[in-house]
Structure 1
């Protein structure tokens, strides 16, 4: 059920940008879900024929067309203002959920009132697990779990396919629209935890995910967004000592890179290139005040870090 979704408790939000090549498969898979739902597609000003595809697709999704590309984070933030159901599903346009995906996610939240988000199992087209939830590393990175954990509870979810309680999401500040792309999911999971909620894995909620169909993992832009948003997330969510330590590490490594080049070191990968890292530092300086203002009092901050960082 797309536009009407009688009796729906969930709105499935699909954010797309130039996704015509894979968007129809995503919409077909959402339409085939065995639970009532609404479907909202956020079109990030695509100019590849996606608008025409959306207008003629049999599922008749509601469409929010943005005047410019706001990225995945910006698209989800725009959608949140329109979602009227108690639950909001996040779904990449290059993901095709199995028929029981939404039911498994809803059941996982129904079984645990303290769970404010449920993570899916994302698989490659060949069947390998891309993500079975997200863990928090010792240096404050979000890393996909590539095997289902022994416990149902996980630190966070992959934003490519997840289900969240709408009101809880709004209460902790919504989606960080300024991230544009990457780490909006880990930042959101962290804020849900700081607000008193948990994240659980729904093992039966399976999705086939192409991964990187709209962006190029490993590209300069990928690394810029990853590095910048990780550090912004730490400023917003982590204990102060952790945020300060990781900022200092990033700046110190950036400072010594010219010396390594002078000594004849080989050309580094994109995330260790001086120009990219200087741009990250400049963007951090501009965005740090807003990130610190978004940092809400949270007595559990140190506890969350101690329990989940590994």
Structure 2
């Protein structure tokens, strides 16, 4: 059995899937120590016409799992975890390109850090030398997070230390252990098709006493939001729906009054200015999911109080 499983959910033909998979095949970690598992969120025709030729060309040993329907990012990750047995798990966007040393350094870090809940690397824009994120921080109460380093020119000497502990992380390339995954409860399915499930996982890791860590010597690249498109209405509707669900599902350090004041200031300032209707649509489409969100919140709070 491999020590490490790399899970790659995919559904679009607009992503550089072959480039992604080649970066995962050509790693410094010996190939027999890890498996690559591609979760097809598309239909069987997508698997036959798009995925199969790429897998055959890159590495026929890559496993392809056919999801029963489009499960979204979180659901695709969960489906991959349910169909693997490795203790160590890496999740990888299909439009991200891995550093050749990523898997070896990640596996080593997990083995020597027993309280490690989630591990990430530096992520730069695949189209230029700018940083996408080096971790994520919450700067305002209403769940608008800032990607550390966003837009800055990349430099090989940005960090003196090989590892840095974080508050939150971005979910395009990250890893955890199976035991932590099970304790946290995995990624929340309510966030379909995506956004904020990684934020919630990081928050709940820290609430359970685990660390989130950035490996500063590992730099992966990412095209970003090629499935929904970062400027599309679909993107903003999904983003704001997930943002509201995150606030309902999780108790952060902020009180409800602080959250409402921050949201009001955001609306009155510049935040919602360019996307007011998609923000409202996001909230409206979140309504059917609210009862489940509140139930999940109670269940996780009970788990924390019981101390697992």
Interval of TM-score (by shorter of Structure 1 and Structure 2)? 0.7 to 0.9
**CA deviation after TM superposition for structure 1 residue 277, in Å:** 3.5
Q: Distance in 2 between matches of 1:164 and 1:253?
A: 34
Q: Distance in 2 between matches of 1:118 and 1:200?
A: 5
Are residues 91 and 292 of structure 1, via their aligned partners in 2, closer, same or farther at CA, if it must alter by over 3 Å?
Answer: same
Greater shift, 91-100 or 289-298, is seen at 289-298
Q: Is the aligned partner of 1:110 residue 2:111?
A: yes
Are residues 133 and 193 of structure 1, via their aligned partners in 2, closer, same or farther at CA, if it must alter by over 3 Å?
Answer: same
**CA deviation after TM superposition for structure 1 residue 106, in Å:** 2.0
Identify unmatched segments of 5+ residues in structure 1.
1-5, 257-266, 302-310
Q: Which residue of 2 aligns with 1:32?
A: 26
Are residues 80 and 242 of structure 1, via their aligned partners in 2, closer, same or farther at CA, if it must alter by over 3 Å?
Answer: farther
What is the RMSD of the two structures over their aligned residues, measured on CA atoms? Answer: 2.9
Are residues 196 and 42 of structure 1, via their aligned partners in 2, closer, same or farther at CA, if it must alter by over 3 Å?
Answer: same
Greater shift, 137-146 or 200-209, is seen at 137-146
Q: Which residue of 2 aligns with 1:134?
A: 136
Q: Is the aligned partner of 1:282 residue 2:291?
A: no
Q: Distance in 1 between matches of 2:196 and 2:85?
A: 25
Are residues 241 and 208 of structure 1, via their aligned partners in 2, closer, same or farther at CA, if it must alter by over 3 Å?
Answer: closer
Are residues 55 and 119 of structure 1, via their aligned partners in 2, closer, same or farther at CA, if it must alter by over 3 Å?
Answer: closer
Q: Deviations over 1:47-83 (max 9, x none)?
A: 5532323552342211111233222122112112122
Of 249, 266, 274, which residue of structure 2 is paired with 1:269?
Answer: 274
Identify unmatched segments of 5+ residues in structure 2.
153-157
Q: Is the aligned partner of 1:80 residue 2:76?
A: no
**CA deviation after TM superposition for structure 1 residue 196, in Å:** 1.6
Q: Which residue of 2 aligns with 1:186?
A: 199
**CA deviation after TM superposition for structure 1 residue 244, in Å:** 6.1
Alignment of 1:177-216 (within 5 A): 177-180=189-192, 181-216=194-229
Alignment of 1:2-17 (within 5 A): 8-17=2-11
Are residues 283 and 129 of structure 1, via their aligned partners in 2, closer, same or farther at CA, if it must alter by over 3 Å?
Answer: same
Greater shift, 142-151 or 118-127, is seen at 142-151
Q: Which residue of 2 aligns with 1:305?
A: none
Of 12, 17, 23, which residue of structure 2 is paired with 1:18?
Answer: 12
Q: Deviations over 1:82-126 (max 9, x none)?
A: 221111101011111121011122223233221111111111132
Are residues 166 and 79 of structure 1, via their aligned partners in 2, closer, same or farther at CA, if it must alter by over 3 Å?
Answer: same
Contact 2:14 2:227 in 1 (8 A): no
Q: Distance in 1 between matches of 2:258 and 2:287?
A: 16
How many matched pairs? 282
Alignment of 1:46-65 (within 5 A): 47-48=45-46, 49-59=49-59, 60-65=61-66
Counterpart secondary structure, 2:109: helix
**CA deviation after TM superposition for structure 1 residue 212, in Å:** 1.9
Task: Return the TM-score normalized by structure 1.
Answer: 0.81
Contact 1:169 1:192 in 2 (8 A): no
Are residues 244 and 219 of structure 1, via their aligned partners in 2, closer, same or farther at CA, if it must alter by over 3 Å?
Answer: farther
Q: Distance in 2 between matches of 1:128 and 1:240?
A: 31
Contact 1:132 1:144 in 2 (8 A): yes
**CA deviation after TM superposition for structure 1 residue 300, in Å:** 8.5
Task: Return the TM-score normalized by structure 2.
Answer: 0.81
Are residues 223 and 246 of structure 1, via their aligned partners in 2, closer, same or farther at CA, if it must alter by over 3 Å?
Answer: farther
**CA deviation after TM superposition for structure 1 residue 27, in Å:** 0.8
Are residues 155 and 249 of structure 1, via their aligned partners in 2, closer, same or farther at CA, if it must alter by over 3 Å?
Answer: closer
